Amino acid sequence: MPSVYIKTYGCQMNERDSEAVAAQLVAKGYTLAAGEATADVILLNTCSVRDLAEQKALRKMENVAAEIRRSRPDVVLGFLGCMAQSRGQELIDRLPDVDLVLGTQKFHRTADYLDDILACRREKIVDVAPEDKSEAAIREHLLNGNANKSVTAFVSIMQGCNQYCTFCIVPYTRGQERSRTIPDIVAECKELVARGVKEITLLGQIVTSYGKRDIPQKDGKSPFMQLIEAVHEIEGLERIRFTSPHPKGYGDDLVEAYARLPKLVESAHIPVQSGSDRMLKLMHRGYTRERFLGIIHKLRQVRPGIGVSTDFIVGFPDETEADFEETLSLAKEVAFDQAFIFKYSPRRDTPAAEMAEQLPKETKEERNQRLLDLINGIANRKYQTHIGEQMEILAEGPSKRNEARMMGRTRCNKIVVFEGSERHRGQVMDVKVIRAGAFTLYGEPDVLNDE
């Protein structure tokens, strides 16, 4: 059977989609190639959130076509995902070596289309049409290619977004919000737990909007809350996370859930984007600075040690120095454990790209650096405060930087590296923190709870 190599750009949703496509192909008999040099099929799962991501994928495909397709003309080349969705046929017009272009509602069609191309039944395929129920088609898992290896897994609960933030291309590439049913998601989670998974992250562009249009409120609880409770009941599951919520959907029912659902770990990634109300309005975010700070305050009252992270955009059109200082002051006030900063990048067909007051590159760079310095300084100090603490971790596997060591994650989502071994994988155990580095803690081996 042919071998396939999938390169993924972008967010966790894309990683998850690629994993599901790979698992579907493996189930059909394909093998997974270690790299593009040996693959019979090379697929790029693309991201459109920033221009840089699109340019990277285009350059990659140009190189693959020049270096690999020329020497092995039978190799099949394809684009999947967001850029495939937004550019469609244009990609084949620009890069005639490409055989397949599949949009964000077509991942589950990859195997059938590849079969057709490999059997020479069809030459070029472009399919970016919407497809009913495609949100339920992202459910297969590789679990690192070994049924018992991964102890954490992402479960896609919905696709799309209806928020239409003025900077964001996602509602155009991923479509309107479409949610899977609770029983379907719970069944997938149960299968994962039966295969050894201990921690599940519920995944969607805007998870707090889960089921809003299809699932009625029950006992005053939102569909998302109902889903968390249903997943919480799964025996053998140790931890639940979710990403990404939207501040406007962070209701009191969700805040209060942290107090009563022990498997819901004390960690929250809540994208704020800006500390300036004027910017938040121009971005069409749907909340104010005060509302955001109120959520953080309530969460910390319920779970004082909660780890809080966020996303920021700097250099949005018409962002003044005063607006940016509001962002700096919010970052200081919240004292995030981690933050991802993005320099605003205009995306075609989005309202912000048409705004007149685009900022120069230098301003974006300078603000990015100032915010980064502030965030890193705060996070560094916060990590230091954990030294000497006993923290619960879920041991996930060997550390990426040093395979001789193991790594786990605290409930508040901090990575802890420790001198363990394979037998610790999947264990929920306490370690004593002895050292802190940049976004990594180091645990004391002699307090490991071995069995």
Contacting residues toward ligand SF4, per CB under 6 A:
161, 163-165, 168, 170-171, 205-206, 246
Closer residue to ligand SF4, CB minimum distance, 164 or 340? 164
What residues contact 123, with CB distance under 8 A and at least 6 apart? 99, 117
Query: In the bound complex, what is the minimum distance in angstroms from residue 282's beta carbon to ligand SF4?
Result: 13
Closer residue to ligand SF4, CB minimum distance, 171 or 408? 171
Query: In the bound complex, what is the minimum distance in angstroms from residue 164's beta carbon to ligand SF4?
Result: 6
Closer residue to ligand SF4, CB minimum distance, 196 or 251? 251
Closer residue to ligand SF4, CB minimum distance, 164 or 439? 164
The per-residue b/e assignment along 15-47, b for 16 or more CB within 10 angstroms, e otherwise, is: ebbbbbbbbbbbeeebeebeebeebbbbbbbbb
Closer residue to ligand SF4, CB minimum distance, 206 or 448? 206
What residues contact 169, with CB distance under 8 A and at least 6 apart? 48, 49, 82, 86, 347, 348, 349, 350
Closer residue to ligand SF4, CB minimum distance, 244 or 368? 244
Residue 222, phi then psi, degrees to nearest 5: -70, 160
Query: In the bound complex, what is the minimum distance in angstroms from residue 450's beta carbon to ligand SF4?
Result: 43
Straight-line distance from the first to the last Cα atom of the chain, in angstroms, rounded to the nearest whole number = 43
Query: In the bound complex, what is the minimum distance in angstroms from residue 327's beta carbon to ligand SF4?
Result: 16
Closer residue to ligand SF4, CB minimum distance, 25 or 170? 170
What's the burial of 415, exposed, middle or buried (CB within 10 Å: 0-12/13-18/19+)? Answer: middle
In which region does residue 391 sit, left (phi positive, over 0), alpha (psi from -120 to 50) or beta (all else)? beta
Query: In the bound complex, what is the minimum distance in angstroms from residue 213's beta carbon to ligand SF4?
Result: 15
Distance CA 61, CA 67 (A): 10
Distance CA 242, CA 155 (A): 9
Closer residue to ligand SF4, CB minimum distance, 274 or 427? 274
Closer residue to ligand SF4, CB minimum distance, 171 or 426? 171
Distance CA 216, CA 213 (A): 8
Pairing outcome for strands 390-398 and 428-437: antiparallel
Q: Which residue has the tokens 């996930």?
A: 396
Query: In the bound complex, what is the minimum distance in angstroms from residue 11's beta carbon to ligand SF4?
Result: 9
Contact present, 448 and 404 (Cβ < 8 Å): no
For residue 156 the two structure tokens come to: 């896609």
Closer residue to ligand SF4, CB minimum distance, 101 or 165? 165
Query: In the bound complex, what is the minimum distance in angstroms from residue 31's beta carbon to ligand SF4?
Result: 34
DSSP 201-242: EEE-TTGGGTTTTTS--BTTB-HHHHHHHHHHT-TT--EEEE
3-state class percentages of the chain: helix first, strand second, coil last, to nearest 5: 40, 20, 40
Closer residue to ligand SF4, CB minimum distance, 101 or 168? 168
Query: In the bound complex, what is the minimum distance in angstroms from residue 169's beta carbon to ligand SF4?
Result: 8
Query: In the bound complex, what is the minimum distance in angstroms from residue 165's beta carbon to ligand SF4?
Result: 3
Distance CA 394, CA 397 (A): 9
For residue 362 the two structure tokens come to: 């230098």
Exposure of 90 in the CB half-sphere (CA atoms within 13 A): 8
Query: In the bound complex, what is the minimum distance in angstroms from residue 411's beta carbon to ligand SF4?
Result: 25
CB atoms within 10 A of CB 128: 17
Query: In the bound complex, what is the minimum distance in angstroms from residue 202's beta carbon to ligand SF4?
Result: 16
